[in-house]
Amino acid sequence: MKHTRFDGNYYPTESNPVPAASAESTMSDYGTFVEMIFNKGSLNGVQVLSEHSALEMETDSVVGINTSADSAVRTTGIPTYGLGTWRDVVTADDVGVVTSGNGAYGFYPWVDRSRNGFGMVFVYDQRGSDQAVPESQRELHWVLCVLDGLGVMKTATPTTVYRRR
Mean pLDDT by 10 residues, the chain (165 residues): 74 62 80 92 95 93 90 84 86 84 81 87 78 80 77 47 30
Q: How many CB atoms lie within 10 A of CB 99?
A: 26
Q: State residue 153's pLDDT score.
A: 55
Q: State residue 160's pLDDT score.
A: 32
- First-to-last C-alpha distance (Å) of the chain: 35
Distance CA 76, CA 134 (A): 7
Q: How many CA atoms lie within 13 A of 76 on its CB side?
A: 26
Q: State residue 132's pLDDT score.
A: 80
The two beta strands, 107-112 and 96-100, are antiparallel
Q: State residue 38's pLDDT score.
A: 93
Q: State residue 11's pLDDT score.
A: 57
Distance CA 87, CA 3 (A): 27
86-95, long-range: CB < 8 A, 24+ apart: 87/58, 87/60, 88/158, 88/159, 88/162, 89/114, 89/159, 89/162, 89/163, 90/60, 94/59, 94/60, 95/58
For the chain, the C-alpha Rg in angstroms (whole number) is: 16
Q: Which domains does the chain have, with CATH numbers?
A: 19-164 (3.40.710.10)
pTM above 0.75, yes or no: yes
| Helix (H) / strand (E) containing 109 | strand 107-112
Which residues, 6 or more positions from 65, have their beta carbon under 8 angstroms from its beta carbon? none
Q: State residue 155's pLDDT score.
A: 47
Which amino acid is residue 64, in one-letter code? G
